[in-house]
Amino acid sequence: MSSSEGEPQLPNRTSEIRKDTVFGRWVVFSPARSRRPSDFKSKNPNPTSNHPTSCPFCIGRESECAPEIFRVPPSTPDWTIRVIENLYPALRRDLNPPDTGSDQAVGACRVTGFGFHDVVIETPYHPITLSDLEPQAVGEVLLVYVERVQQLKALGTLKYVQVFKNHGAAAGASMTHSHSQIMGIPVIPPSVTTRLSCMKENFDSTGKCSICDLQSDQNLMINSSTHFYAIAPFAASYAFEIWIVPREHSSYFHELDRAKAMDLGGLLKLMLQKLAKLLNNPPFNFVIHTAPFDLSPSCVPYSHWFLQIVPHLGTVAGFELGTGCYINPIFPEDAAKVLREVDG
């Protein structure tokens, strides 16, 4: 998109407040100050050419990293993906896991900091980002996530695993080498509990899964593939936020099979390329929202996993902190239209 005089303006809309039935929050859409797509370009793009000579994530420097958990392919120096322990973990795997299910633990405000904090090095080569990889290679990264989540589930000491990626310093990345993270924790995070409660409330009132129902609004659709579709959510909290959603109802990300991972890899690559091209390679986060382990069968009809991409284009300020409501300067219908028109 160009910021020239010929650039199309966004539609003239009045402010609106929408309810997010997945996360249970209200979002204020206030588009008055942003009239063109170029108004949203990142003022703090992620650098792509900075290649420090001391990066421990680069191939050949494996001895400088924290212990390795596994690599792909296994047992070869010519790896494509490595999973390692985080050198500075937020949680400690060498502590005794808390008995969060005991009567004594119910209502407790403090448990031991037991858990797992891993790093997924997505490529051996520093200048390469996730969106630079071939679609199949992105799919292989997703399959590594799946394998590690399955390993953590098998331990029986964790209740939830969060897969996430921070791209750029403004999004929380401390290393410029392309990587993502996996954290396993012994409690169910409050945001996950809230998400499931909100989706249950919608299911009880409509008989529909909130996520499955997203497919019905073509104005929010960006792109689709055989098994997934990418949308701008109806009550997006952030400008140009994207959700990638499985077409088939599925509660658990870690049940993703190879064919679907390859399919998702292509769509994820395309969405990251679109955001980079449209918004000047902005910092971003993506997170995978899945179900807690040992989900009750009664929750399965409304629990649906999805991947959320959030570019960092603004600042969370006092109103958001005070109310829990977000202000979004672009309507998702307009964001979806702009993104549809961007070549990958």
Which two structure tokens, joined as six digits, stand for 238?
Answer: 């952030």
What pLDDT score does 98 carry?
87
- Mean pLDDT of the 338-342 span: 94
> Looking at 148-152, 317-321, 331-335, which range is the least confident one?
317-321
312 is in an annotated binding site: no
Q: Where are the beta strands (DSSP E) in the chain?
A: 16-20, 25-29, 68-72, 81-85, 116-121, 160-167, 179-185, 221-224, 228-231, 242-246, 284-289, 306-311, 326-328
Please indicate, yes or no, whether the overall pTM of this predicted structure exceeds 0.75: yes
Which residues neighbour 261 within 8 Å (Cβ) at sequence distance 6 or greater?
A: 139, 140, 142, 143, 146
Active site residue 254: no
Helices (H), 121-257: 135-155, 190-206
The highest-confidence range among 14-23, 105-114, 255-264, by mean pLDDT, is: 255-264
> Does 134 score more than 50 pLDDT?
yes
Q: Is residue 51 scored above 70 in pLDDT?
A: no
Look at residues 155, 149, 165 and name the one whose alpha carbon lies nearest to residue 93: 155
58 is in an annotated binding site: yes
Going by pLDDT thresholds of 50, 70 and 90, the confidence category of residue 128 is: very high
The whole-number average pLDDT for the span 250-258 is 97
Q: According to the annotation, is 249 in a ligand binding site?
A: no
The pLDDT-based confidence of 3 (bands split at 50, 70, 90) is: very low
Question: Could you give the percent of the chain with pLDDT greater than 90?
Answer: 77
CA distance 279 to 340: 14
Which pLDDT score, from 0 to 100, does residue 220 have? 96
pLDDT digits (tens, 9 = 90+) for 78-110: 999 999 999 999 999 999 888 766 544 556 678
Take residue 67 and report the two structure tokens written for it.
């212990």
Report CA torsion sign: 42, 240, 262, 117: positive
How confident is the model over 217-232, as a mean pLDDT? 96
Catalytic pick among 51, 117, 167, 179: 179
- At 97 the three-state DSSP class reads coil
In the three-class reduction of DSSP (H, G, I as helix; E, B as strand; rest coil), residue 206 is classed as helix
How is residue 95 annotated by DSSP? S
157-213 pLDDT, tens digit per residue, is: 999 999 999 999 888 888 999 999 999 999 999 999 999 999 999 999 999 999 999
